[in-house]
Structure 1
Amino acid sequence: MQSLDALAREAVALANGEVVPATDSAAATTEAARQMQICNACRYCETFCAVFPAMTRRLDFNAGDIHYLANLCHNCGACLHACQYAPPHEFAVNVPRAMAQVRQQTYTDHAWPQALGALYRHNGVTLALAGAGGLALFLVLVLALRGTLLHEPLAGNFYAVFPHNLLVALFGAAFGWAVLALGIGASRFWRGRTPGAVTGASAAEAAHNALALTYLDGGHHEGCNESDDRYTLARRRFHHLTFYGFLLCFASTGVATLYHYAGHPAPYPVTSLPVLLGTLGGLGLLAGPAGLLWLNLRRHPLHGDPAQRPMDRAFIVLLFATSLTGLALLAGRDTGAMALLLAVHLGCVLALFLTLPYGKFAHAVYRCAALLQWAIERRQPNRLQLGAD
């Protein structure tokens, strides 16, 4: 249990730019279980989000239950602001923080390869920018050694700078690695869970809740809580801009790939579907991460786990850098600096792909799995209520 003095010391440390140490994994699980026992007795927040009705189906909370509930939590802050047992009460109930600390342990425990799970604790903005900058510099040096860094305008023909097959091999391998690592992690998380059979209805509900960010409304449809108790939908909207911007960029790449193998290679005009999708996605990935970073920098330290802010910000900054360099490349693709802009953009994209399985992006995978479990579980009879009847 954390005292008010301890929480205040953390807030002062964060304000001074100091690093707050991570919580021990076993202690984080135990603390979250303690808080769930208190919440299960109170149940004031039962209608707020999926965490609390899922909680009421249990009397005891083992590690698997806690990790499941932690990944259902969207850290909206509503339960913290409504709780009569929140700090400075001696019970010190802070569900958003307890769940955030357990979520990081989920990522670490199920990471593949296991040894790379430690990266979740050391993934910060400096490392992210150094990785992107290092990869971009390497590509710039390759072009400089070839004498093609500055060139005559190539009418947006990226493949005149880096061959198509080289890019497919390089980025296909990086993205494939991310999908494989996250897929194995998700399967490890799901293993041993028997909430029932996956049905079309449960899958559709989980997909809707994930795509609509249903549980970022705080249970009252007014959004997340600010530190002064005010509600805001800004976090939900910036998440949507980020998520759908990412999907649009992915769709742009997919459509361009289909065009290429259908006999219509790049470059494509600015009015073409790949360029339009990429531009819209890039704008979303510019506005969304910028807004999320703004919210992250001003969020109260009681909301979530302050020790994970560097990991959160690293992912946000990489998304922003990827979008910014992509839009710069679009603007300068008909100039003699296209090769330079392309190298910088590809360095950012490659850094993003390589860090996807070991950074904040992992929360999307585990949260979808938890939402699917809840969609299945809520269709099953509640044995505790049946026993009471």
Structure 2
Amino acid sequence: MTLDLPTLSFAVTIVMALSAFILCAHWLVNKHIEGLGGAALGMLLAAIGVPLLVFASLPASELLSFTGQLLVMTGFGAIWLGTAAFWKKGCRSRRRLLYIFIALGASVLAKSILDPNKAGEDLYTIYWLTALFALATVLVTVRALGGLKMVYKGMIRRTAIGAVLVILLFTAHGTYMFGVGVVNFIGQEALLQAYNFSVITRIELILFSISYALIMIIITAEKLQGQLRTQQMIDPLTGALNRSCFLEVMRATVARAKRYSEPVSIIMLDIDRFKRVNLEHGRAAGDQLLRDLTSLIMQKRRAQDVICRFSGEEFILMMPHTKEEGVKMVAERIRHKIAAAAFSTPKGIPVSLTVSVGTVTARGDDLEVDGMLDMVDRRMHHAQQLHFDSVESVGG
């Protein structure tokens, strides 16, 4: 059984339309995930453009050819933007670049309409622009993962299989399209016919369409799993770690510090008279103040420092590699910053907040999670009993 062009062209149209339908359905189910809509739109435009290119073999069909190629180019450009948005890398500059490239491509393709004798001579344009958008998709995915080193780690650890598949798919697709564009540009008609590039290109489009739809489903599942893991780790109100996750992180940090003989310091703070704030201004105002206070504590902290909402209005900041002098300085800075901050309720009513703070530093055999938490809790409550808005580093 031979593969004839009309049958393959029909198969390409059906498969791309089916892939576009799958992506659209996938987007409707997961509307909260950015980029899926752009990916679905891109595949839909390409699915419309391909049959127009097939019909362009008919006489006096320069306009159909122009429209089909423009739709295919725009479709792959939309896939690029959709993938960038999926990785949270969408920006206006990419949209402007897309408009510029499409405009340039359209101006080149317009020669087929203005001069029918040159019809087909500029076919390399669609291949080169498609290859360019494929390369851009690869680059934005690599950057989203943090570079080639992180791509390798994600592949080995099986934490970014979908992203690696995106890179492989678009690298292969872009390389093939660029190669076909070069062959068209240098006018090697004999080479095109000898290797039957028309058939190969249609088969490649079928494989690409199916693979892209499946890969988008895979990376969406990975993203949803990641979001679920994050939700299990993060306090939904403040964005700080929750208690259970913090305890796991602290145990791992303490174990490492013991192994390398490093100090670990923790700061525990409690908002003074916070119940009165809730009574006077309401629960919504209290929630807003907790969010604002957490943001204030997070400012200018080191990457290795970990903040946790330990209970209602109690927070813990763990600082690895930090000695007594350093943790006392940080605790005093946080206390002064909170006391001087201009907090306000959602209704704009100004509210003053202060905190009572306890600190503890441990090293060697004293590095024990429960013992450190018990000590810092006693010191924080000692600060509250003696005087609000104070730091207790010794005693207890």
Fold match, TM over 0.5?
no
Higher relative contact order (CA 8 A, sep 6+): 1
More strand by percentage: 2
Output the TM-score relative to the length of structure 2.
Answer: 0.31
Max radius of gyration: which structure?
2
